[in-house]
């Protein structure tokens, strides 16, 4: 898939996620149930964490750094614990900021290996679409 198409698809998925997040009532943001055991707040931070992970790897590619076959990342429980120390506003700002970094990193000149583009797709576009659906269902309940 070409970068321009990836960016277009990401923008559409982002729009759906942003709408779902914005529609979450303040009193329900920290309520579990968006997915079992997780709140919308948890999903916002979870999405920010994984988009940051993919973005960091893209930025390393652009700096010419070697990417290890497996990078270190936190287990889901640690990611959740970290996110639960943040305010809603901080979690949302983190997601928005990472989104801009991710788009900039993907659009930057230079070669981007197919696996890095696939990781971008997985951790932004597909992740946003998945969790937008979860949040929409939760908001409707």
User: What global pTM score does this model have?
Assistant: 0.92
Give the whole-angstrom CA distance, residue 116 versus residue 131.
21
Residues 88-107 have pLDDT tens digits of 999 999 999 999 999 999 99
Q: Where are the domains of the chain?
A: 3-140
Q: Class of 3-140 per CATH?
A: mainly alpha
Give the whole-angstrom CA distance, residue 120 versus residue 123.
5
Q: Contact at 8 Å (CB) between 141 and 28?
A: no
Closest CA to 102 of 59, 55, 42: 55
Q: How confident is the model at residue 24 (pLDDT cuts 50, 70, 90)?
A: very high
Residues 35-76 have pLDDT tens digits of 999 999 999 999 999 999 899 888 888 888 877 666 667 788
By the 10 Å C-beta count (0-12 exposed, 13-18 middle, 19+ buried), 4 is classed as exposed
Residues 8-17 have pLDDT tens digits of 999 999 999 9
């Amino acid at each position: 898939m070409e970068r321009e198409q990836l960016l277009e698809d990401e923008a559409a998925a982002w729009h759906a996620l942003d709408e779902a997040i914005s529609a979450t009532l303040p009193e329900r943001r920290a309520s579990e149930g968006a997915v079992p055991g997780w709140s919308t707040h948890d999903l916002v931070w979870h999405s920010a964490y994984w988009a940051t992970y993919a973005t960091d790897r893209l930025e390393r590619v652009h700096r010419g750094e070697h990417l290890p076959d497996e990078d270190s990342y936190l287990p889901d429980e640690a990611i959740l614990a970290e996110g639960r120390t943040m305010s809603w506003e901080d979690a949302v700002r983190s997601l928005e900021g990472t989104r801009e970094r991710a788009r900039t990193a993907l659009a930057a000149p230079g070669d981007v290996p197919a696996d890095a583009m696939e990781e971008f797709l997985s951790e932004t576009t597909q992740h946003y679409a998945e969790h937008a659906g979860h949040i929409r269902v939760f908001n409707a309940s």
